[in-house]
Amino acid sequence: MIVPLRFRHDDRRGIMRKALSFFLMAVLLIGVLGACGPKRDVQQPKGNDQKTAEQDKKPEKLVVWVNDDEKQKQALKDIFQKYTEKTGIKIEMVGVNMLDQTKKLALDGPAGKGPDVFYQPHDRIGDIVLQGLADPVDLGDAKGEYSPTAINAVTYDGKTYGVPMVVETYGVFYNKNLVSEAPKTMEDLMKIAKEKNECSERPIWLFNGSSQLLFCLSVLRRIRRLCV
């Protein structure tokens, strides 16, 4: 999920609001979407002149916080370069560990030092919104590019706060040499786990990276009950 930061200096807010349309239109063509939401109070021309002036406005630069991983940053660097070529808007990419972003935002955001756009998993959206760290975004016609499930994942209290970037799910694999038939329910899985494991030997359970942590935590309590 890509989220627009709520806090920004007042003198940039109107321009940053207009950047949403530029960012959506251009990045749709290259695989990543972003948005930013601050606005400012400015004198606007009237009638058609006002509409034309609004369409012409765009920021010189967007600050984007990305996960502090070299491979991810390199991939995004190539994408952002294409975005800059398409729109003329420069991207300042700042590496911040994804698990530390909301904590850092709570300090940097109100001080006007935060990003225009940042990346977070969709299941953090409630916490982000309740802390006042993000503004709603209007995806416009781009909303139709996504499945209702993806849009729902970045929606909180009826408002859209992020742009879907990746849709994924988790899978459970089993060893056919140990389990003859795949479990169909969580209860079936727990039954197999109890039959196939000896808790007294204190087995070690490894998972691959922080992104799998929430999945593991969801079943740890169940597994703990098997060993008591």
What is the residue extent of each domain of the chain? 2-160, 186-226
The tens digit of pLDDT for each residue in 101-159 reads: 888 888 887 788 888 888 888 888 888 888 888 888 888 888 888 889 889 988 999 99
Residue 12: is its pLDDT beyond 50?
A: no
pLDDT value at position 199?
A: 62
Residue showing tokens 């920004």:
8
Percent of the chain with pLDDT over 90: 14
Average pLDDT over residues 78-92: 93
**Sign (positive or negative) of CA dihedral 40, 45, 46, 50:** negative
Closest CA to 116 of 63, 59, 38: 63
pLDDT band, very low/low/confident/very high, at 191 (cuts 50, 70, 90): confident
Crossing angle for the helix pair 213-226 and 186-196, to the nearest 10 degrees: 60
Q: Is 50 exceeded by the pLDDT of residue 176?
A: yes
* Fold classified for 2-160: D-Maltodextrin-Binding Protein; domain 2 (3.40.190)
Cβ neighbour number for residue 124 with a 10 Å cutoff: 18
Mean pLDDT of 3-14: 46
Cβ-Cβ contacts under 8 Å for 43 (sequence gap 6 or more): none
pLDDT at 50: 52
Tokens of 53: 């002036």
Q: How far is CA 132 from the centre of its chain?
A: 16
